[in-house]
Amino acid sequence: MNYGGLFDWWEIAVAKKLIHEYRENHRCLQKEDFDDLLQECLIAWLDLRDQYDPSRDASRKTFMAGVVRIELCKIIEKATAEKRKTIYESVSLDQPLDDEEGAPTLKDKIPDTKNTSPLINSELKKELSKAYEKLTPRQQKLYKLLAEDGLSINAACKHFNNHRSIVYREVIKIREVFEKEGLRDYLR
């Protein structure tokens, strides 16, 4: 991509390197186009590069890397906020599922669970908790990183400072525990 001489080669190289690093560790960035991320980071750098102060004992590259990291964190935050936003979008239960006359609604397709729902939820929580307690402390931490924090396998490998095969073996063991507890459907 040509930026009309706005940036030196090293500025583009720093931005590309950081984008590659962040994309390895954050799934939401893997869905974004690399060139779009590069452009957003370079625009942020362009806006702030005049604020570089050499008296602060940081090189220009270090200052730029900080600006790019902050921009990438903003993009990640926005992407995760959008993800949470879609979870809460509402759909009318009375809306027909297709355009045909007399088509069933979503309400018609949902089984009536008024009397059993709280019991099922409480039982499911107990079962999930029981399976989680059977994990080793390391497996519990890995489970939280992958399932709750949304880290990628690569990021988990870096977090534990282990090879991918070791982390994959732990994931397989976690799956086995959940499957033994009859919770296979709750694994991704």
Domain ranges of the chain: 9-87, 113-181
According to CATH, what is the number of the domain 113-181? 1.10.10.10
Q: Which residues contact 19 (CB under 8 A, 6 or more apart)?
A: 29, 34, 37, 38, 41, 68, 72
Q: What is the rounded CA–CA span in Å between residue 7 and residue 4?
A: 8
| Residue 116 in this model has a pLDDT that exceeds 50 | no
pLDDT one-digit tens code per residue, 134-178: 999 998 898 888 877 788 888 888 888 888 888 888 888 988 888
CA distance 52 to 63: 7
Contact predicate 173/137, CB 8 Å: no
Rounded to 10 deg, the angle between the 34-48 and 9-25 helix axes is 130
Residues 58-114 have pLDDT tens digits of 899 999 999 999 999 999 888 877 666 555 555 666 777 677 777 777 667 666 555
